[in-house]
Amino acid sequence: MSKDEKDTAEAPKKSKKMLLMIIVVAVVALLGGGAGAFFMLRGDSAEAAPPEKGAVKAIDTQLTINLADGHYLKMGFALQQTADAAEEVETSEALNLAIETYTGMTVAELSTEKGREAAKEELLKKVVKAYTEDDKKMVMDIYFTQFVTQ
C-alpha cells in the first residue's frame, strides 16, 4: 500500500469523527438553549401576572420621622392589599418598617423623585415580605397620602 492510499483511507475516518463531533456539539447547544429559554420564559410569565388587587387599608396614624441633620419627614400611607388577604391587615408592622427605613435619611435623598422612588421600593420590599403568609402576598403596594420634609 502506497502512502497516498493510506492518506485516502484515513481521510474518511477523520471526516466521520469530525462530523459526529459537530453533531454532538450542535445537539448539546440546542438542548442547552432550549432549556435556558424554557426557564427564562417560565420566570417571566410568573412575574407578568401580579396578584389581583383587594381593599386599600388606609393607615390613620401620621408618622413624624427624624431625618439626618435635624430635619424631619412627616408621612402617611395606605396599604394596597391583594385579593388573597382574607381580612384587613394589622398595620403596626408596616408603620415600624417605615420608621426603620426612613430614619436617618437626608432631605437631599428624599427631595428628588428618583430618591423617593428608591426609598419607597425599599419600604415596599420589606412590607411585602412582612405581609406574606404561606407564599401568599397580603400586601402588594404602598400609596403615600402625605409626604413632607422639613
Averaged pLDDT for residues 4-8: 55
Domain ranges in the chain? 1-49, 53-149
Report which of residues 32 and 101 the model is more confident about: 101
pLDDT in tens, 12-48: 667 778 888 888 887 777 777 777 777 777 755 555 5
CATH, range 53-149: 3.30.479.30
pLDDT value at residue 86: 77
Tens of pLDDT, residues 50-82: 788 889 999 999 999 999 989 999 999 999 999
Please give the torsion angle defined by the CA atoms of residues 122, 130, 61 and 146, in that order, rounded to the nearest 10 degrees: 30
